[in-house]
Structure 1
Amino acid sequence: MNKFWIILAHTYMSKVKSKSFIITTVVTLLIIIGMSNLSKVMDYFNKGEASDEIAVVDESGTLYSPLKEQVESVNEEITLTKFPGNEKAAKEAIRDGEYDGLLLIRLNSTGLPEATYQAMTIADTTTANEIKNSLQQIKTQLAATQMELSTEELAKLYEPVDFQQIALEKNAKTEEELNQARGLVYVLLFVIYFSVILYANMIAMEVATEKSSRVMEILISSVSPIKQMFAKILGIGLLSMTQMAVLLGVGYVSIKQNLDSMQGGFFSFFGFGDIPLATIVYAVVFFILGYFLYATLAAFLGSLVSRIEDIQQMITPMTMLIVAGFMIAMFGLGQPETPFITISSYIPFFAPMLMFMRVGMLSLPIWEPILAIAILIVTIILLAIFGARVYRGGVLMYGRSNSFKDIKKALQLTKNEKNKL
C-alpha cells in the first residue's frame, strides 16, 4: 500500500508544480476576476470618452422635445441635439466629425412617428436601439391618444396575462422550485462536463508521457497495475479538487467584493437558496462517480499509445460520449420526463449528467437515483478490472497505435506476463 501512496503523491505533486498547471490556473483566475469585475473594467476604458451626440432633424416640429427627454432619461451617454439646418448639411457635419449620428424624425400619414437613423457606420447598434425603444414609447402614447385610451386602459392593455402552472402530482416541484433547480443543474452540468473531460484527458496524457519515457517498465514490475492506475486517478482527482477549490474561492471573493450586499449567502443571492440539500449531495456523488468512470476509461486508453500525439485520436470516442451526454442533458432541461431521457439516464456513460439532471428537475422515487448509482459503481468496478488487464499489457506496447484492436494485443501481453510469473 505504501507504493500506492507514493505513486499518488508523485502524480499529485508533479502536476501541481508543473508549468502547464500553474499557467492554466493563473489564466483561469484572471478570466474569473476579469469577468466578475467586467463593469469596472468597461468603466475604466470608457473613462473620459465623450457621450454620443446625435443631430436631430425634426420634420414634425413636435417630436424632438419628448424624444430627447425620453432618451436621456434612459441613457445619459446619448445626447440629442436639434440641428438647425437640413438633412444635407447634417450629413456633412457627421462626415466632419461634429456629430456621431443623424436622426430624421417625422409623422407618417396616420400621425404616428417614424424615423431614419444615419451614421458613418451602423456596426454599433446600442445607440440606435436606445433611440428606437424611446421612439416606440412615444408612438404608443400617441396611438393611445388617437384611440382615446386613458393611461389606466393603456396599462391594462400591456399588462401580462396571469398564467399559473400547478402540478397535481404529490410532492411535485412548484414552478419557482423548478426555475431554481434548472439554474443550479445548468451550472453544475457545465462543471461536471468540463471537469470530467479536462481531467480524464490529463490522466491519459500522464500515462502516455510516462510510457514514452520507459518509466512504466520499471513501475509495472514493482506495483500491481490496478494500484498504479487508481493511484494516478486519485492523484489527478486531488489535483482537480485543488484547482476547483482555488477557482471557486477566488471567484466567490471576487463576486462578493463587487456586490453591494450578498444577503442570505452566496446561493440565496443568486436564487439557489431553496435548493434541497439532497440535490447538492447527488451533484457531488454523480460528479465523483462520473470522474472515476471516465478517468478509468482514460487511463487504460492512454496505456495503449506510445506517443503523446496519438492521445487525442485514441480518446476521441470517450470524448464523444461525454459530449453526447452533455447535449442530451441540455435537451432534457426542458423535457426531463421524456422516455428517451429516462432510459438514457440509466446508461452508465450518460448517468452522471442525465440522472443528476432528472434528480434536480423532478421528484423521483429514491430507487431511481440509487439504481443509477449502483449501475455506475458496478460499471466502474468492471471497467477497473478490465482496464487493469489492458493497462498492464498496454504499458508494455510501443510503436504507433491507431486502432482499438490494440486492446486485444494488450490483453494478450498481460496474459503472457502472468504466465511468466
Structure 2
Amino acid sequence: MNKFLIVLSQTYLNRLKSKAFIITTVITLLMIFLITNLSTIIDNFDSSEADRVGVIDTGSYYTQLENQMKMMESDIVLEKFDGSEEKAEQAIDEGDLDSYLILKENENSEPTALYKAETVAEQVTPQVLESALQQLKSTIAAEKAGVTQQQLSEIDQPVQFQKVALEKGAKTEDELNQARVFVYVLLFVIYFSVIFYGNMVAVEVATEKSSRVMEILISSVSPVKQMFGKILGIALLGLTQYAIIIASGYLFMQMQEDDLAEAGFLSFLNFSNLSASLIVYAIVFFILGYLLYATILAMVGSLVSRAEEVQQMIMPVQFLIIIAFFIAMFGLSTPSSTFVTISSFIPFFTPVVMFLRVGMLSIPFWEVAVSLALLIGSIVFFAIIGAKVYRGGVLMYGKSSSLKDIGKALKLSRRE
C-alpha cells in the first residue's frame, strides 16, 4: 500500500507543478471570467452612442414608425431628414448620421423601406427597423380589413400549449428543462475529462517508459499498483483543477450584480429542481467512465516507447468516447429511442448515454443497475488484462504501430 501511495502522490505532485497544468488552469479561469463578465466587458468597450438613423419619408409613415420604435423600447435615434439622398450621404460622411432610411408607399398603400449605410455588416439596427416596419404594416393591413387593435392583439397571442406526462413519476416540464441543461453540461465535462485526463495517463506512462525509469519501477512495484497509482494520481489532479475552476467561477458570479447574475448567459444555470439522485448518478458515472477509459489508455500507453507515438495509438479509444458523445447529443431530443436504450447498456457508451437517460427519463432502477454492473465488470476486466499488458508493454521498446502489440505484451508478461 505504501508503494501505491508513493506512485500516486508522485504522479499527482509532478503533474500539479507542471507548466501544462498551470497554463491550462489559468486559461480556463480567464475564459470563465470573460463569460461571467461578458455583458460588463461589452458595455465598457461599446461606449458609442446609439445609432442615429435619418428618415426620408415620402409616404407619411414617419410618425407611426417613431411610435412603434418607442413601443419596442429601442435605443435607436430616428431623425426626420428633409434633404435629398445626396445630403443624407454627406451627413453620414460628416458623422452627423450613421445611416438613413427611405420610406415609401407602394401600390397597396403599404410602407416599403430602403436602408443605406456605410456597411450592412452590422445587423442589429436594420433588423430592429425591419421588425418595427413589419408591425406597422400589420397594423395598417388590419385597419383596412376592419380589424381592431384589440382583435389584432388577440390574434397575435401565442397558443396555450402544455405538456403533461401520464407515466407515473415522470418529470415535469420545468424539471426536464433543468435536467436537460444539467445533462448537457455534464456530457461535455465527462467527454473532455476522459479525452484530456485519459490522454494524460497514457502520456505519463509513455514518458516514464522512454526515460527507462519504468524498468526499475516494474521490478519494485506491482503493475496493478503502478497503473492505478498513475490513474488515481491523474484523477486527483483533475479533481483539483475542477475544484479551482468551480470555486473561481462561484466567486466571479458573486462579484456580479444581482440583476446581471440572474439574466443573460448565467440565467440557465438554475438547478433548483434537480433531484439528489441525479447528482449522485452524475458523480458515479463520471468516476466509472474515467476509470474505464483511463485503464484502457494506461494499457495502450505502455505499448509505445515515445510520448510522440501516444496520439496515434490512443486514436481508436478516443473514437469510442466520441461516438458515445454523439449518441448522447442525438439522445437529448429522443432519449426514449430504441437505439439510445440499447447503446446505454454498452459499457463504452454507458457513462454518457445511460446518464442521459437517467436525467431525461424515469427508467426502472434495474436498468441502471444492469448498466452499472456491466460497466464495473468491464473496468475489472480491463484492469486485469491491462495490468498484464502493462507489465509486458513497459518492457517493449521500438516503434509500436498498432493495438496488435497487445498480444506481444501479454507474452512478455507471462515470461516475467
For this structure pair, what is the TM-score category when the shorter chain's length is used for normalisation? over 0.9
Aligned residues: 412
**1:268 Cα deviation after fit:** 10
| 2:34 match | 34
Q: Which whole-Å deviations, capped at 9, do the CAs of 1:144-171 have from their partners, x for residues lacking one?
A: 2222222221121111112222222222
| 1:252 match | 250
| 1:399 match | 398
| 2:134 match | 136
**1:225 Cα deviation after fit:** 0.5
Asked whether the equivalents of residues 394 and 410 of structure 1 are also in contact (C-alpha less than 8 Å), the reply is: yes
Asked whether the equivalents of residues 72 and 79 of structure 1 are also in contact (C-alpha less than 8 Å), the reply is: no
**Matched residue SS, 2:258:** coil
**1:405 Cα deviation after fit:** 1.5
| 2:17 match | 17
Structure 1 gaps, min length 5: none
Asked whether the equivalents of residues 51 and 77 of structure 1 are also in contact (C-alpha less than 8 Å), the reply is: yes
189-198 or 354-363, which deviates more = 189-198
| 1:199 match | 197
| 2:356 match | 357
**Matched residue SS, 1:414:** helix
| 2:337 match | 338
Q: Distance in 1 between matches of 2:8 and 2:128?
A: 58
Matches within 5 A, 1:6-155: 6-47=6-47, 49-61=48-60, 63-71=61-69, 74=72, 77-155=75-153
| 1:233 match | 231
Asked whether the equivalents of residues 223 and 391 of structure 2 are also in contact (C-alpha less than 8 Å), the reply is: yes
| 2:271 match | 272
**1:174 Cα deviation after fit:** 2.3
Structure 2 gaps, min length 5: none
Q: Which whole-Å deviations, capped at 9, do the CAs of 1:39-58 have from their partners, x for residues lacking one?
A: 111111122x2322222111
Asked whether the equivalents of residues 101 and 115 of structure 2 are also in contact (C-alpha less than 8 Å), the reply is: yes
| 2:221 match | 223
**1:176 Cα deviation after fit:** 2.4
Give the partner amino acid of 1:20: A
Asked whether the equivalents of residues 205 and 311 of structure 1 are also in contact (C-alpha less than 8 Å), the reply is: yes
Asked whether the equivalents of residues 197 and 235 of structure 2 are also in contact (C-alpha less than 8 Å), the reply is: yes
| 2:170 match | 172
| 1:315 match | 314
Q: Distance in 2 between matches of 1:162 and 1:78?
A: 33
Q: Distance in 1 between matches of 2:303 and 2:375?
A: 24
Q: Which whole-Å deviations, capped at 9, do the CAs of 1:120-146 have from their partners, x for residues lacking one?
A: 211111111111112222222222222
Q: Distance in 1 between matches of 2:305 and 2:91?
A: 68
292-301 or 250-259, which deviates more = 250-259
Displaced runs of 4 or more, over 4 A: 72-77
**Matched residue SS, 1:173:** coil
Q: Distance in 2 between matches of 1:75 and 1:9?
A: 60
Asked whether the equivalents of residues 101 and 119 of structure 1 are also in contact (C-alpha less than 8 Å), the reply is: yes
TM-score normalised to structure 1 length = 0.94
**Matched residue SS, 1:164:** coil
The alignment yields a C-alpha RMSD, in angstroms, of 1.8
Identical positions, percent: 54
**1:99 Cα deviation after fit:** 2.3
